[in-house]
Amino acid sequence: MIWTVLGPIATIGVYFLFRRFHRGSLVTLPVLATSVVLIAVLALPGGDLAGYERGTMPLKFLLGPATLALAVPLARNRALLRRRALYAVPIGAVVGAVSAVLLCRVLGLSTALTATLAPKSVTTPIAMPIAARTGGIPELTAAIVILVGVLGMAVGPRLLDRLGVRSRIARGLALGTAAHGVGTAQALSESDETGAAAGVAMVVAGIVTALVVPFLL
């Protein structure tokens, strides 16, 4: 019962604390650090995950309107939508979903895990309902999405260097498609143009993945 009240307060408090002290280090990345702290606290005796989930329902609800809010950065960067390079984003989103499903089949994973992994490249508010509708475990998708974002942020820039991807738009589109919001934050640290390209790619990739994954599973 106490966690229903304490849960949202602790989540918001720890989140803003890490936001304040985050200086580009992975250890203090707000979403990762806040999740780890709350997982640890809830694992202590007296921790009540079900109560915590009830209390944080309003926070979770906001993922819905936040998905609609993604339309705004898209509309604000309409010049980017006319760039030829953008065609790479839907291709990348389809390749990402199809390759994840194929690898799951090859490695003999359950259909629930396959549905959990299929939308793992896209932003959490879009990935979770996709997983829920296709028989996956949306909470697990959320955790994997965060880890994929951190991975993309950590290896993305170096991998793109090595592949000779130098233009700002191409780097941004790749980071946004593969690593959603975390990749977009990384792209923004390279330049404003890279960040804007990543932001547009994250939304386009999310929409394309939502349209494609239900028909893959």
Partner 1 sequence: MKLVRALAQVLLLSALYLAFERGAAAVHSPVPGSVLGAIGLAALLLLDVVPLRWFEDGSKLLLDHLALFFVPAAVAATRSWGAVRRDLWAVSAIAVVTTVVVLAVVGRLAERDR
Q: Which residues, 37 to 66, sit near partner 1 by CB under 8 A? A: 38-39, 42-43, 49, 52-53, 56-57, 59-66
Q: How far is CA 82 from CA 49, 74, 86, 197, in A?
A: 46, 12, 8, 12
Q: Report the nearest approach of partner 1 to the CB of residue 113 (Å).
A: 6
Euclidean distance between CA atoms 123 and 82, whole angstroms: 23
**Closer CB to partner 1, 26 or 91, in the complex:** 91
- 31 binds partner 1 per the rule CB under 8 A: yes
**Closer CB to partner 1, 27 or 75, in the complex:** 75
C-alpha torsion angle, residues 110, 112, 113, 114 (rounded to 10): 80
Q: How far is CA 119 from CA 101, 124, 126, in A?
A: 9, 9, 8
Question: Scanning residues 97 to 126, which ones bind partner 1 (CB under 8 A)?
Answer: 99-100, 103-104, 107, 109-110, 112-113, 117, 120-121, 123-126
- 98, 211 contact by CB (below 8 A): no
- 3 binds partner 1 per the rule CB under 8 A: no
- 84 binds partner 1 per the rule CB under 8 A: yes
Euclidean distance between CA atoms 183 and 181, whole angstroms: 5
Question: Scanning residues 139 to 198, which ones bind partner 1 (CB under 8 A)?
Answer: 139-140, 142-148, 151-152, 155-156, 159-160, 163-167, 169-171, 173-175, 177-179, 181
Q: Report the nearest approach of partner 1 to the CB of residue 35 (Å).
A: 4
Tokens of 78: 């309409």
